C-alpha cells in the first residue's frame, strides 16, 4: 500500500500523539513524520526514540508542508494553535485531533480555519495515566473505540483517510454528534476522573502519618482511584472547563445517589445497599463481556506473554 | 518444620478463605484442613479443588476438634457463629478472622467466647472483586499488609502462631488498635467502595441505550470503578453497616471537597483544579514506590511471566 500522506505533522507529541505516531511509522502511513511540541523535552525525546523523522522549531515550520495535522495538545490550546497556523496551511490540508471534549473545540476552531482546510474532529477512547512520548506505545489503542464527531462541513473523504490511521491501530470506529459525545464522556470519563481526583485529594489532606498509612494499605481499594487521579493535570483542567455543563449535570445526579446511599447507611437500611451492590456487579460483568475491562498496562503484559507462547 | 496446627477449620471458604487455605496446604501448616460454608457450592468446590481435606456438614462438627478456627464470612454473621460454636470448642482453641471491620466485631463476639478460647482479630489488606473458592489463589497476599487488632485479652502466643500463616503467604505484618484500623479502612477502602458503587449505580440509571454506550466506552475511566463495584454485595453491605460512624465521617469530608471542586468548575477556576490535580499525581507515585499499585490479577500475569523466563 502506498503511504496515505506525504507529510503528517503532530502538534503535541505526548502520550497519545507519540503512541499513534508509532502506529503510523510501523505501518508506513506517511512518507514523513514531523512534530512540534512547546515542551522541548517531548520534541527531543520523540526524535531520539525514532518515533518521528523531524522535529520543527516552530508551529509554522511544522505545518506549512503537512497534508495531515494531528493536534494532540490540551483542548484549551486549540484556539491559539488554529489562529497561529491558519495563514500557513497547504490547500486541502486535513486537520484532526484527539481531544476529550468536542463541542466547544469545534465551536472555537472551525471558524478560524480557511475553507480549503478539512477539519475532522475525533477522540480515541484509550489512554493511561502516564505522560510524555517515552510512555507511549503502539498497542495502546487495540480493541478500543475511536469516536468521530463530524460537523456539517467535514469532508467524508478526509474522515475516511484519518479513519484508516486509527483502524490500523486496531481501533473500532464510530461516529456521533459532538454534543452526544460530550454527554456520554461526562458520565464515562469526566465524572470518574473528577471523583478520583476528589477522593485522592481528600486523603492528601490527612495528617502525614495517616496519609502514609493510606498509601501502605491502598490495595484495599483506594489504589484503583489513584491510577486515573495520576493523569496529566493541565489536560484534565482543560477538559473540566471545556465540558462544564455536561459535567455539572451528571455530577448532580451522582450527588443525589450518594446522598441516598449515605442515608441508607445512617438508617441501617441493608436492603437498599444490597440491592444496589447486586445491580452494579452486573455492569462489571457486561464490561468484561465487552472486552473493555483490561487496563492498558495489563494488555502489554498479556501481549508479551502471547509472543512467548 | 512440623505442622503449626493439628486441625484448622475454615468457617466460610470463599475468595479469601480458599486463598489462605491454599497457602496453608502448600506450606503444610496443618495436619488437617476442614471447612464449613452455608453455601454448599463453596463447600463442595473447595473439596473438589483439593483446597481442604474435609467438608463438615454443620458448624459444630466443623469446630469441635479444631486448634485454629478461621472465620471468613461477612462480618454480620459473626455473632450467630460465635453463639453456635461457643459450647463446642476445644480448650485453648485459637479463633481468628479476616473481617474488614474490627471494633464492632470484637465488641460483639469476644463476650460470647469461653475464656479458654483465644480470639485473634485480623485483616489481610488484599482481595479481588471475585467471589468463591474457584476464584482464590495463593499469590493473592504476596507483598500486601496484614493488620492484627489485638484486644487486651489477646494472647501474644496465639497471635504469633496465626501470624506465621500470613507471613508464609508473603504478607507484611503490623498491629494497631481496632478503632484506628476502622478509621484508616474507612478512608482507604470503605469510602472508595461506596463511591464506586454510587458512580456505577448512577450509570445504571441511564436509559438502556446510553448505558450500553457507557459500557462500550468504559476504558475512558468508568471501568476503573467497576472493578471494585463488582465486589460481593453481602460482604459490603455488612461492612457499611458495621463501620457506620467512621464511614459517615470520611464521607462528609469527601462531600465538602467535591463541592469545592464543583464550584471551581462552575466559576472557571482553572488554578484550583490544576493545583489539586498536581497534588494527587504525587500520591500515585508514592503508591507505586510502595509497591502497592498492581492489581492482584496483574500480579498473577507477572508471576506467570517470571516463571517462563
Which chain B residue lies closest to A210 (C-alpha atoms)?
A: B184
User: Which one is predicted more confidently, B151 or A302?
Assistant: B151
| Residues of chain A found within 8 Å of residue B237, distances taken between Cβ atoms | 270, 273-274, 277
Q: Does B254 touch chain A (CB under 8 A)?
A: yes
The residues of chain A that CATH labels 1.10.3660.10 are 180-308
Give the pLDDT band (50/70/90) at residue A6. Answer: very high
Residue showing cell 497519545: A16
Arithmetic mean of pLDDT, A288-301: 74
Element (H, E) at B44: helix B40-48
The ipTM is: 0.89
Across the interface, whether the CB atoms of A284 and B195 are under 8 A apart is answered no
- The C-alpha cell 486535513 sits at A94
Interface touch B258/A221, C-beta < 8 Å: no
Most A-contacting residue of B259, B284, B288, B293 (CB-CB within 10 A), to test interface? B284
pLDDT average, residue stretch A119-134: 94
- The answer, as to whether pTM is greater than 0.95, is no
CA distance, residue A43 to nearest chain B CA (Å): 23
Contact A254 B189 (CB under 8 A): no
Q: 3-class SS at B51? A: coil
Alpha-carbon distance B68 to B94, whole Å? 5
* Residue A104: closest CA among A251, A247, A249, A254: A247
Q: Put the strands of the sheet holding B172-175 in their side by side order.
A: B122-124, B145-148, B172-175
Q: Which of B141, B199, B254 to mutate to test the interface with A (most CBs of A within 10 A)?
A: B199
Element (H or E) spanning B220, and its range?
none
State yes or no: pLDDT of A216 exceeds 70: yes
Q: Is the pLDDT of residue A309 over 50?
A: no
| pLDDT tops 60 at residue A235 | yes
Residue A218 has pLDDT above 70, yes or no: yes
Residues of A in contact with B254 (CB under 8 A): 198-199, 202
- A184/A189 Cα distance (integer angstroms): 8
CB A126 within 8 A of CB A172: no
Is the pLDDT score of A195 beyond 50?
Answer: yes
Q: Compare CB distances from B302 to A187, A253, A301 and report the shortest one's residue.
A: A301
Residues sharing a CB contact under 8 Å with residue A103, sequence separation 6 or more, in sequence order: A178, A179, A181, A182, A243
Q: Which residues contact A145 (CB under 8 A, 6 or more apart)?
A: A124, A125, A171, A172, A173, A174, B216, B217, B219
Residue limits of CATH 3.40.50.720 in chain A? 5-176
Average pLDDT over residues A154-159: 97
Alpha-carbon gap: B271 to the closest alpha carbon of chain A (Å): 8
- Is A210 near chain B, with CB under 8 Å? yes
| Chain A residue whose CA is closest to B183 | A210
Ranges of residues in chain B with a pLDDT under 50 are: 308-309
Q: Which of A127, A210, A216, A220 to mutate to test the interface with B (most CBs of B within 10 A)?
A: A220
pLDDT at A2: 79
Residues of chain A found within 8 Å of residue B290, distances taken between Cβ atoms: 215-216, 218
Closest CB to B226: pick one of A205, A268, A283: A283
- Give residue B292's pLDDT: 83
**What whole-number distance in Å separates Cα of residue B81 and Cα of residue B85?**
6
Q: Give the integer Cα–Cα distance in Å for B123 and B134.
A: 21
- Joined grid coordinates for residue A299: 494488555
**What's the pLDDT band for A137 if we cut at 50, 70, 90?**
very high
CATH class for the region spanning A180-308: mainly alpha
Flag whether residue B248 sits within 8 Å of chain A, measured between CB atoms: yes
Helix (H) or strand (E) holding A121: none
Q: Report the pLDDT averaged over residues A6-10.
A: 98
CATH of domain A5-176: 3.40.50.720
CB contact under 8 A, A226 and B251: no
> Where do the H-state alpha helices sit in A72-190?
78-85, 103-109, 156-168, 178-185
Q: Across all residues in chain B, what is the average pLDDT?
A: 93
What is each CA distance from B87 to A69, B35, B77, in whole angstroms?
78, 19, 17
Closest CA to B165 of B62, B96, B242: B96
Amino acid at each position: 500500500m502506498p503511504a496515505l500522506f506525504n507529510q503528517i505533522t503532530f502538534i503535541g507529541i505526548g502520550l497519545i500523539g507519540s503512541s499513534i505516531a508509532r502506529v503510523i511509522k510501523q505501518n508506513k502511513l506517511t512518507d514523513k513524520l514531523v512534530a512540534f511540541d512547546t515542551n522541548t523535552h517531548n520534541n527531543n525525546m520523540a526524535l531520539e526514540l525514532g518515533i518521528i523523522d523531524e522535529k520543527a522549531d516552530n508551529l509554522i515550520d511544522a505545518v506549512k508542508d503537512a497534508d495531515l495535522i494531528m493536534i494532540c495538545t490540551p483542548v484549551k490550546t486549540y484556539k491559539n494553535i488554529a489562529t497561529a497556523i491558519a495563514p500557513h496551511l497547504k490547500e486541502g490540508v486535513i486537520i484532526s485531533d484527539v481531544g476529550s471534549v468536542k463541542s466547544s473545540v469545534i465551536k472555537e476552531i472551525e471558524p478560524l480555519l480557511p475553507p480549503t482546510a478539512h477539519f475532522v474532529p475525533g477522540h480515541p477512547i484509550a489512554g493511561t495515566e502516564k505522560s510524555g512520548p517515552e510512555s507511549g506505545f503502539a498497542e495502546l489503542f487495540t480493541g478500543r473505540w475511536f469516536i468521530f464527531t463530524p460537523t456539517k462541513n467535514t469532508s467524508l473523504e478526509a474522515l475516511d483517510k484519518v479513519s484508516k490511521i486509527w483502524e490500523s491501530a486496531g481501533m473500532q470506529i464510530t461516529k456521533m454528534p459532538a454534543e452526544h459525545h460530550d454527554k456520554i464522556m461526562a458520565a464515562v470519563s469526566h465524572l470518574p476522573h473528577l471523583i478520583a481526583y476528589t477522593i485522592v485529594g481528600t486523603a492528601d489532606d490527612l495528617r502525614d502519618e495517616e496519609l502514609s498509612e493510606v498509601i501502605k494499605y491502598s490495595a484495599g481499594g483506594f489504589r484503583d482511584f489513584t491510577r486515573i487521579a495520576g493523569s496529566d493535570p493541565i489536560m484534565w483542567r482543560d477538559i473540566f472547563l471545556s465540558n462544564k455543563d455536561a459535567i455539572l449535570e451528571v455530577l448532580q445526579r451522582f450527588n443525589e445517589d450518594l446522598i441516598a446511599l449515605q442515608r441508607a447507611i445512617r438508617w441501617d437500611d441493608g436492603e437498599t445497599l444490597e440491592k444496589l451492590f447486586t445491580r452494579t456487579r452486573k455492569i462489571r460483568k457486561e464490561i468484561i463481556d465487552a472486552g473493555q475491562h483490561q487496563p492498558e498496562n495489563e494488555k502489554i503484559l498479556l501481549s508479551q506473554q502471547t509472543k512467548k507462547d
